[in-house]
Every structure is written in C-alpha cells, then in structure tokens.
C-alpha cells in the first residue's frame, strides 16, 4: 500500500498489488484499479500526510486505517477508512452472497 498527496489537493491510497489488473470500461473514469481510495476534499495543495494502516486508537475498530492530511493553508483533515471500503468489489459481492446464503439456511 502507498499513500500520496499532490498539488491538485488530492490524497490517494494505492494498492500496488492491483497494478495491471483488469478493469471494466465503466470504471475507467474512477482511475486505475490500483487506486483504492481518493480523498478530494482539500482546498489547497497537500503539504504533508500521515497514514496509519491499522489504527491503534482505542475508539476505532482494528480494521480501520487512519489518515491525517495537511494542506498548504494549514487545514488538517483526519479521516478513517474501513477495511471493507478498500476490499475489491468482487470480494464484497462474494461476502454479500455468503451472508444471503446463510440467511436462507
């Protein structure tokens, strides 16, 4: 995993294991398959960011990542990402099917 911030006010989390993965045409505008999270809520270039892949903060679930991003006008944003959000669509659909199957039994 890789976190990046840029002058276009964006922060991205990348899963480099997904580089070169197939992608449906309707998902092209979302970015490449290895870009798993895009955070585009800053108003000036990203100056710094810190990323904790597995949060140690007691109030958060163990499977959440915490990110703090700072922009050049000194605004700080702290946000969390659950593991479910970064799972691939296929994995989430598979899990949903398993839950549906268990409920039917």
Q: Where are the alpha helices (DSSP H) in 32-82?
A: none
Instruction: Please tell me the distance from the alpha carbon of residue 50 to that of residue 3, in angstroms, as a whole number.
Output: 8
Decide if pLDDT at 44 tops 90: yes
Task: State the average pLDDT over residues 30-44.
Answer: 85
- Total domains in the chain come to 1
Tokens 């922009």 belong to which residue?
Answer: 71
Q: What is the pLDDT of residues 66-78, one digit of tens each?
A: 888 999 988 898 8
Show the domain range for 60: 2-104
Pairing type for strands 11-14 and 46-52 reads unpaired
The reported pLDDT for the residue numbered 14 is 84
């Amino acid at each position: 995993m890789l976190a990046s911030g840029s002058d276009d006010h964006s922060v991205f989390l990348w899963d480099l294991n997904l580089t070169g993965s197939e992608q449906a045409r309707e998902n092209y505008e979302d970015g490449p398959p290895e870009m798993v999270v895009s955070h585009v809520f800053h108003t000036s270039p990203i100056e710094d960011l810190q990323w904790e892949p597995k949060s140690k903060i007691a109030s958060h679930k163990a499977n959440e990542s915490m990110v703090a991003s700072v922009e050049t006008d000194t605004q700080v944003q702290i946000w969390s990402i659950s593991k479910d959000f970064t799972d691939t669509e296929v994995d989430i659909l598979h899990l949903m099917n398993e839950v549906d199957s268990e409920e039917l039994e």
